[in-house]
Amino acid sequence: MTAVVGAIGLLLVVVVLVDTFETVVLPRRVTRRWRITTAVYEATWPPYRAVASKVRSRARREVVLSYYGPASLLLLVACWASLLIFGYGLGIWAFGGRLVGETEHSLGTSLYVAASSFFTLGFGDVVSRTGIGRAILVACGGTGFAFLALVVSYLPTLYQAFSRREVYISQLDARAGSPPSAGELLARNGADEIDQLTTFLADWERWGADLLESVLSFPTLGYYRSHHDNQSWLAGLTVVLDSCSLLLAVHDDRARRQAQLTYAMCRHAAVDLAQVMQAKPDQPADRLSDEQFDRLRTRLGEGGWQVPDSALSKLTKLRAGYEPYVIGLSRQLALPLPDWTARAKAADSWQLTELDERGERPNQPRTRRRLSRPR
């Protein structure tokens, strides 16, 4: 019976090492259903999201949700380390015999020896008598050293991918508003500036490919939220898909080819990321009602775009290719989807820090000075 327990412990070590390798080292999506990483996120994210949804203030709610990405990464590392120590502890307890310096053969002492070896402390107050036990201790120390080095090297790569993602999202502020919308993007980059818009879509085609690759390699990135509450990677992806759909619907041949390429790449990203983030495609109420479409046509007309009546049917068909997936991601990650046009009197994020001639922020309410009465 003791040997069976020891074998189970060593098998657990192998399972954890494989899961760590697939998560940190293997640059591809793993479709196997049962994984430690998947189990951790499925067990922690739904209750955390439910608790965060109780926060009434949107700004505070976003702050609470922003903690989950980094905290989940630390939790995942802690789970890996704990399971490795537990597995090695079972192996030492089963195959190490009675340890030198041990008053009684206990599992607790074996776990203590495994932990001290894993974290390369090497106290040496308790050692194994058998060759198998000593081999397990050496393997435990080597695993701990390699595990810590792997985690340390993993973090810079993760945050580099996060920084690349956020650079493009920040550019949407002046180009498409805050929060961004497809109507603002096309209206601000009018029909006369189609060359600049084509270059912009080409850049976002590469951004979509980079987003897909980075989240497939590091699924934790999907839970990392942007620096500003009115921006997100999902909103940026949706705005680009909406904009490409509009360009294809209005039959503008000048940007048609690039719009097709960017649409294909970003839709591919939306579909695959919905699978990675365990988001079920959904199709609730229409995102673009007739009233919103009329308002969108008016805003596009201000930018010189001609939207024919036949564009609505074409736009509906294109939207059906990606909206169920971005809506599913929106519900799964608690990230709001952008509107098709900017909200009334909405100011861009960069405008909120402007100062008027008095050195005050015009978009912020002035505080009244209270004059104290002489006592």
- What is the reported pLDDT for 202? 94
Instruction: Indicate if 46 and 86 belong to the same structural domain.
Output: yes
Structure confidence by residue, pLDDT tens digits, 284-311: 767 888 888 888 888 888 888 888 888 8
Same domain for 126 and 213, yes or no, is: no
Predicted confidence (pLDDT) per residue in 184-194, tens digit: 999 888 777 78
Does residue 96 sit within a domain? Answer: yes
Task: Identify whether residues 114 and 263 lie together within a single domain.
Answer: no
* Domain end position, chosen among 118, 152, 186: 152
Q: % helix / strand / coil in the chain, to the nearest 5?
A: 65, 0, 35
* Residues 148 and 195 grouped into a single domain: no
Run of H or E including 96? none
372 pLDDT above the threshold of 50? no
355 within a domain of the structure (yes/no) = no
The CA-based angle 293-335-39, given to 5 degrees, is 140
Is residue 362's pLDDT more than 60?
no
Question: Looking at the domain assignment, is residue 158 inside a domain?
Answer: no
Residue 125 pLDDT > 80, yes or no?
A: no
Task: Note whether 139 and 231 are same-domain residues.
Answer: no
Degrees, nearest 5: CA angle 133-127-77: 70
Kindly state whether residues 258 and 207 are assigned to the same domain.
Answer: yes
If asked whether residues 186 and 61 sit together in one domain, one would say no
Decide which of 135, 152, 169 is a domain's last residue.
Answer: 152
Domain co-membership, 28 together with 77: yes
For a pLDDT cut of 70, what percent of the chain falls above it?
Answer: 86
Domain edge (last residue) among 115, 135, 152: 152
- Let me know whether 135 and 193 are in one domain: no
Same domain, 125 and 232: no
**Predicted local distance difference test score (pLDDT) of residue 358:** 54
> With bands split at pLDDT 50, 70 and 90, how would you rate the model's confidence at 351?
low
Q: Please indicate, yes or no, if residue 373 is contained in any of the structural domains.
A: no
pLDDT, mean of residues 211-235: 89
In-domain check, residue 302: yes
pLDDT digits (tens, 9 = 90+) for 16-29: 998 888 888 776 66
To the nearest whole percent, how much of the chain has pLDDT over 90?
Answer: 35
Query: What is the total count of domains within the chain?
Result: 2
pLDDT at 51: 94
Q: What is the pLDDT of residue 365?
A: 46
Give the residue among 168, 174, 96, 173 at the shortest CA–CA distance from 130: 96
State residue 322's pLDDT score.
94
Residue 204 belongs to some domain of the structure: yes
* Confidence band for 368, pLDDT divided at 50, 70 and 90: very low
Mean pLDDT score, 89-94: 87
Confidence of residue 370 (pLDDT cuts 50, 70, 90): very low
On whether both 101 and 31 belong to a single domain, the answer is yes
What is this structure's pTM?
Answer: 0.83
Residue 32 has pLDDT above 70, yes or no: no
Let me know if residue 265 belongs to a domain: yes
Question: Please, what is the end-to-end C-alpha distance for the chain in angstroms?
Answer: 86
Q: Is the pLDDT of residue 366 over 50?
A: no
Structure-block tokens of residue 157: 């790569």
- Average pLDDT score over residue span 307-319: 87
Average pLDDT over residues 146-165: 87
**What's the pLDDT at 12?**
93
Determine the number of helices (DSSP H) and then strands (DSSP E) in the chain: 13, 0
Q: Do the beta carbons of residue 210 and residue 267 sit within 8 Å?
A: no
Checking if the pLDDT of 357 tops 80, the result is: no
pLDDT at 138: 87
- What's the average model confidence in pLDDT over 171-198? 85
Q: Residues 6 or more apart from 43 whose CB is under 8 A from it?
A: none
Q: Do 210 and 318 belong together in one domain?
A: yes
In a domain, 333, yes or no: yes
* Domain CATH code at residue 65: 1.10.287.70
**Domain containing residue 109:** 2-152
Question: Mean pLDDT across the chain, nearest whole number?
Answer: 84
